[in-house]
């Protein structure tokens, strides 16, 4: 929460005031409503930067209100919709601004946000990183990571794929996420601001799995970072119970059939050997969701890609407990690999 931008005083208040799980949603929804008022007041006063930042803070508060709230789908979906609405209002006022882009894939409208670095654009356009969220992370949550990329001369395109964020309302988790990533690449190839010869992809957690699949299936992605990832669902039974519930939820299926579906849908075995792009694999040794054997499975399967592996001995899932260290390193790696001047 802190690494993604929730203010420390808000976290402290939550720890002090929330006595039961059922109070969690209301606490963070109230925070979101407070930041929304601040943002709207600032915009009316002509303070666009503050207005955009407070509306983003409101969106992030609603994101964490509904975070892992699988037992109450009605309120969870209410939080998702409020988050999307608030971020859409914030995006034009961010620095740099976020441009909402909607890409048609079959009968699905894939939503994403393109952000470009400040300063003079290179003659060939900006290199760009596609950002893929995980089981619970969505495009609205990636702003601070985007800012790290932008400061290093990397444009960003964060989007929600099947089963994620607002796309969940159109299509649930599917085994062919890479088709949706390739549709984003198709769009970026048409953008004059983007150098389509310098595209990379980064995904965290479930998004790390999706990033690996996407880079294996689309050679236009010239760099791949998988962050807190896995090879398959063989460790499903040892995951924390709430994580298991989350995976079941995003399939849109009943629990008794969801596990078999996940085991069939989420495996790199059919595509891993096709990956050729430089790849960075980052996991924490203390990850309670994806044990290190998952990294070993991925590393063995990537037979033809130049791979760099980083295992942080004290890192938890996605090394969220040391985000201030691993996140700059990942963005530096992307900038170097995508040849930022």
pLDDT tens figures, 302-328? 999 999 999 999 999 999 999 999 999
Residue 140 sits in the same domain as residue 286: yes
- Strands lying side by side in the sheet with 108-115: 99-105, 108-115, 155-159, 126-132, 194-204, 221-227, 279-284, 307-312
Residue 4 sits in the same domain as residue 122: no
- Judge whether 198 and 128 are in contact, CB under 8 Å: yes
**What per-residue confidence (pLDDT) applies to 76?**
93
If you count DSSP H runs as helices and E runs as strands, how many of each does the chain have, helices first? Answer: 11, 8
Residue 110 sits in the same domain as residue 200: yes
Residue 158 sits in the same domain as residue 70: no
Closest CA to 86 of 37, 22, 23: 37
3-class SS of residue 174: coil
Q: Report the sign of the C-alpha dihedral through residues 7, 12, 17, 21, in that order.
A: positive
From 95, 119, 140, give the residue that closes a domain.
95
Residue 166 sits in the same domain as residue 222: yes
From 44, 65, 95, give the residue that closes a domain.
95
Closest CA to 285 of 211, 226, 228: 228
Residue 58 sits in the same domain as residue 144: no
- Judge whether 286 and 311 are in contact, CB under 8 Å: no
3-class SS of residue 109: strand
Residue 172 sits in the same domain as residue 313: yes
CATH number (domain holding residue 154): 3.40.50.1820
**Using CA atoms, how far apart are residues 239 and 233, in angstroms rounded to an integer?**
10
> Residue ranges of the chain with pLDDT lower than 50?
none
Instruction: Give Cβ neighbours of residue 274 (< 8 Å, ≥ 6 apart).
Output: 216, 217, 304
Residue 255 sits in the same domain as residue 272: yes
Q: In this predicted model, what pLDDT tens digit does every residue of 29-54 receive, in sequence order?
A: 999 999 999 999 999 999 999 999 99
Q: How many domains does the chain have?
A: 2
> Is-catalytic flag, 242?
no
Q: Which of 136, 140, 160, 195 is catalytic?
A: 136
Structure tokens that stand for 256 in this block: 């008794």
For residue 53, the enclosing domain spans 1-95
**Using CA atoms, how far apart are residues 318 and 306, in angstroms rounded to an integer?**
21
CATH number (domain holding residue 38): 1.20.1440.110
Residue 165 sits in the same domain as residue 244: yes
**Using CA atoms, how far apart are residues 87 and 146, in angstroms rounded to an integer?**
14
Q: Which of 93, 195, 287, 320 is catalytic?
A: 287
Closest CA to 96 of 37, 153, 165: 153
3-class SS of residue 175: coil
> Is-catalytic flag, 317?
yes
Q: Which of 10, 205, 214, 218 is catalytic?
A: 205
Q: Which residues are registered as beta bridge partners of 158?
A: 113, 131
Question: pTM value?
Answer: 0.96
From 32, 63, 95, give the residue that closes a domain.
95
Q: Which of 63, 93, 187, 317 is catalytic?
A: 317
Residue 52 sits in the same domain as residue 148: no
Residue 45 sits in the same domain as residue 110: no
**Using CA atoms, how far apart are residues 72 and 247, in angstroms rounded to an integer?**
15
Residue 241 sits in the same domain as residue 216: yes
**What per-residue confidence (pLDDT) applies to 177?**
98
Note the helical H segments in the chain.
8-17, 24-44, 48-65, 73-90, 143-151, 177-189, 206-217, 241-251, 255-265, 292-301, 323-337
């Amino acid at each position: 929460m802190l690494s993604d931008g929730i203010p420390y005083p808000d976290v402290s208040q939550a720890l002090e005031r929330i006595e039961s799980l059922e109070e969690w949603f209301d606490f963070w929804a109230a925070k979101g409503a407070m930041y929304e008022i601040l943002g709207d007041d600032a915009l009316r006063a002509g303070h666009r930067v503050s207005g955009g930042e407070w509306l983003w803070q409101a969106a992030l508060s609603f994101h964490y209100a509904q975070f892992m709230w699988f037992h109450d789908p009605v309120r969870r979906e209410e939080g998702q919709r409020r988050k999307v609405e608030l971020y859409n209002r914030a995006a034009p006022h961010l620095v740099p601004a976020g441009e909402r882009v909607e890409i048609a894939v079959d009968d699905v409208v894939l939503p994403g946000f393109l952000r470009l670095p400040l300063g003079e654009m290179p003659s060939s356009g900006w290199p760009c990183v596609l950002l893929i969220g995980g089981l619970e992370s969505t495009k609205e949550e990636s702003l601070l990571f985007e800012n790290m990329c932008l400061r290093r001369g990397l444009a960003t395109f964060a989007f929600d794929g099947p089963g994620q964020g607002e796309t969940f309302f159109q299509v649930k988790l599917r085994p062919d996420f890479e088709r949706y990533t390739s549709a984003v690449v198709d769009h970026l190839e048409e953008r004059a601001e983007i150098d389509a010869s310098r595209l990379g992809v980064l995904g965290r957690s479930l998004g790390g799995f999706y990033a690996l699949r996407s880079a294996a299936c689309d050679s236009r992605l010239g760099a791949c970072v998988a962050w807190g990832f896995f090879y398959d669902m063989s460790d499903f039974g040892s995951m924390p119970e709430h994580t298991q519930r989350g995976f079941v939820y995003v399939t849109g299926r009943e629990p008794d059939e969801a596990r078999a579906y996940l085991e069939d849908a989420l495996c790199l075995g059919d595509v891993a050997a096709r990956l050729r792009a430089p790849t960075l694999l980052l996991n924490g040794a203390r990850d309670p969701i994806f044990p290190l054997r998952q990294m070993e499975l991925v590393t063995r399967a990537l037979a033809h890609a130049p791979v760099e592996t980083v295992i942080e001995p004290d890192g938890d899932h996605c090394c969220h407990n040391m985000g201030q260290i691993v996140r700059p390193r990942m963005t530096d790696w992307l900038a170097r690999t995508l040849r930022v001047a």
